[in-house]
Amino acid sequence: MNIALSEVIFVDQLKRSPVSCVFRTIWRGKDCVLKVPLLRERRPRARKREIDPFKCESAAFIRLQEHGLCDRGYVPEFYGLVEQIKPADYLPHLKDFLQDTIYPNAVLMEYIPDIQPIDLSTFSEQRIHQLHQILREIHSTGVHHGDPYPRNMMVQTTSDRVSWIDFDRAQTFTPQSVQPYQLDWLDHEKKMMEYFVEALMADAKIGRIDATWICYYDSLKPPREQQVEAGLGETLK
């Protein structure tokens, strides 16, 4: 569904990252998230991979919705796309996009209240195994998430709902179009998740982050030999 931004009411900005601005909004009486990716240029090393966050996320959500994952709550419900936005018409909310050379696009999706990434405070074996199963189902639709870290595995603290978010690095393909290197991506993501599941269960037993350190603090990676000892040397190349 193509949605006119004039129908969307801005409430506040939830997040700004180098990739996108995320807003809490209201559309047709529903609490929503409007995710507006920032302009990125294609780099030569990314020729095999789509890096436009809007194309990544919109393609993934369309596929996931087609296969019923949105309806089952495994990922946020997908409402539609807002295309060719004129930032000057929506100030001050879209001030970060005024200097872009092209009009931005956006994805409108469900706002899920009371969520936080899975960690020791929200851990249960049921939740981590369900997140693992959801990733399997995401893969079965032909979607590679592309960022399989706990920051994107959400637990709703007021219920038993768990879900995956942030598909702005996702790669989407069909059984007819899938290439060997894309199958390798899926395999690496599968192994990363298998490691995380076992490691978080082990950390829950000792009551502190240890084996999952690299999963939570990947931007502060330990020395390479520690990664190898953790069993992630090949996976995280």
Q: What is the pLDDT of residues 7-56, one digit of tens each?
A: 999 999 999 988 899 999 999 999 999 999 987 655 555 568 898 999 99
Last residue of a domain, one of 85, 111, 137: 111
Q: What is the CATH number of the domain that holds 15?
A: 3.30.200.20
> What pLDDT shows up at residue 46?
56
What is the model's pLDDT at position 43?
53
The first and second tokens of residue 181, run together, are 């290197």
Q: Do 135 and 234 reside in the same domain of the chain?
A: yes
Provide the domain limits for residue 71. 1-111
Same domain, yes or no, for 54 and 139? no
Q: Which residues contact 41 (CB under 8 A, 6 or more apart)?
A: none
Q: Both 186 and 100 in a single domain?
A: no
Q: Which of 101, 74, 106, 153 is nearest to 8 (CA)?
A: 106
pLDDT digits (tens, 9 = 90+) for 125-145: 999 999 999 999 999 999 999
Phi first, then psi: give them for residue 61, nearest 5 degrees.
-65, -40
For residues 147 and 86, state if they share a domain.
no
The Cα-based distances of 190 to 68, 134, 164, 196 in angstroms read 21, 11, 14, 10
Q: Can you state the angle between helices 180-206 and 125-140, rounded to 10 degrees? A: 180
Do 99 and 119 fall within a single domain? no
Which of these three, 65, 81, 111, is where a domain ends?
Answer: 111
My answer on whether 54 and 86 are in the same domain is yes
Separation between Cα atoms, residue 128 and residue 205, nearest integer Å: 14
141 and 201 in a common domain: yes
DSSP string, 111-122: --SSEEE-STTT
Instruction: Please count the other Cβ atoms lying within 10 Å of the Cβ belonging to residue 12.
Output: 8
What does the alpha-carbon distance between residue 4 and residue 85 come to, in Å, rounded to a whole number?
9
Any idea what the CATH number is for the domain that residue 174 is in? 1.10.510
Flag whether the pTM goes above 0.85. Answer: yes
Gap between the Cα atoms of 38 and 97, Å rounded: 7
Clarify whether residues 31 and 121 are in a common domain: no
pLDDT band at 237 (very low <50, low <70, confident <90, very high): very low
Q: Are residues 98 and 129 in the same domain?
A: no
Q: For residue range 63-107, what is the model confidence (pLDDT) as tens digits? A: 999 999 999 999 999 999 999 999 999 999 999 999 888 999 999
pLDDT tens profile 186-220: 999 999 999 999 999 999 999 999 999 999 987 44
Domain count, the chain: 2
pLDDT for the residue numbered 18:
85
Smallest CA-to-CA distance from 34 within 50, 49, 17, 20 is with 20
Judged against a pLDDT cut of 90, whether residue 167 lies above it is answered with yes
Residues 82 and 189 in one domain: no
Pick from 7-21, 146-160, 223-237: least confident: 223-237
What distance in Å separates the CA atoms of residue 91 and residue 98, rounded to the nearest whole number? 9
Domain boundary among the residues 111, 129, 152 is at 111
